[in-house]
Amino acid sequence: METTVNQDTHLYPKVQIFSDLEALSAAAAEFIATISRKVTESTGNFSMALSGGVTPRPLYALFGSTLYRERIDWKRVRIFWTDERCVPPDHPESNYKLAFDSFLSRVSIPPNNIHRIKGEASADQAARAYERDIRLFLGGPAFPIFDLIILGVGEDGHTASLFPASGAAKERVRVVAPVYLEPPKLNRVTLTLPTLNNAVQILFLVSGKSKQNVIKEIVEQGNPHHYPAGLVQPRQGYSMWFLDNDAANLLTQNNYR
């Protein structure tokens, strides 16, 4: 049974807690189908940025299932990514490959609606090309406005590829930034915090006991370590956190009432 544990979004991010990742993913699919229909009805299309990692995989599998292949009007959806590793699109670490194999290869989405980050280029070249691509479709000299951005959280409080104390996490001018990591870690490309905070809707998906401490700090203690995930607070949009019981294990619900 889902529990909505708080209403005061100005005090705490809005949180929903689910029994497990399967229930969380089913709720996320419904949430996204609902807002994509509403946005498409009013603007004609729906821009959604996907994160990588393990947590969103059941959601992406649902997108590719018979239920959501029809439920979502994929011809009107523009797909972007929150971040990407600097690898070719067929590399096992590619976030594009994850989404393509899970659902993009199964739904009727026009190829031109898929805005892949060209991870085969250098991090800076890929970042600049992706920023141009985003601006071409989401316009504006200012920061682009995504209808929905799906995010995860690392145990260290990172989100997208905005790692604590990194240059990319401090970037406040560029829409997209390169991320340089020590080998064997792969360099990356990421949306920057001001871009994330310009979204209409942010949806965090967080599962597992390994995230319980960072969730406690961000959701309930005001993010004392200034984790990048906790700095995602849309200026004029909304932020929703979908947690499973394990990730929410340390939350004391009376904080929300």
Q: Name the residues that contact ligand 6PG, by CB under 6 A.
A: 51-55, 82-83, 95, 152-154, 158-160
Pick 54 or 142: Cβ nearer ligand 6PG: 54
CA angle 141, 147, 14 (to 5 degrees): 120
Smallest gap from Cβ 80 to ligand 6PG, in A, equals: 12
Pick 82 or 223: Cβ nearer ligand 6PG: 82
Q: Which residue is nearest to ligand 6PG (CB)?
A: 152
Smallest gap from Cβ 186 to ligand 6PG, in A, equals: 10
d(CA 220, CA 233): 14
Smallest gap from Cβ 84 to ligand 6PG, in A, equals: 7
Pick 77 or 117: Cβ nearer ligand 6PG: 117
Pick 87 or 109: Cβ nearer ligand 6PG: 87
CB 205 within 8 A of CB 242: yes
Pick 73 or 246: Cβ nearer ligand 6PG: 246
Q: Per residue, what are the HEC states of 84-131? A: EECCCCCCCCCHHHHHHHHHHCCCCCCHHHECCCCCCCCHHHHHHHHH
Pick 5 or 168: Cβ nearer ligand 6PG: 168
Residues 6+ apart with CB under 8 A from 12: 6, 219, 220, 255, 256
Smallest gap from Cβ 95 to ligand 6PG, in A, equals: 5
Smallest gap from Cβ 36 to ligand 6PG, in A, equals: 20
Residues 6+ apart with CB under 8 A from 116: 81, 84, 89, 96
Smallest gap from Cβ 237 to ligand 6PG, in A, equals: 19
Taking the CA atoms of 171, 175, 180 and 185 in sequence, report the sign of the dihedral they define.
Answer: positive
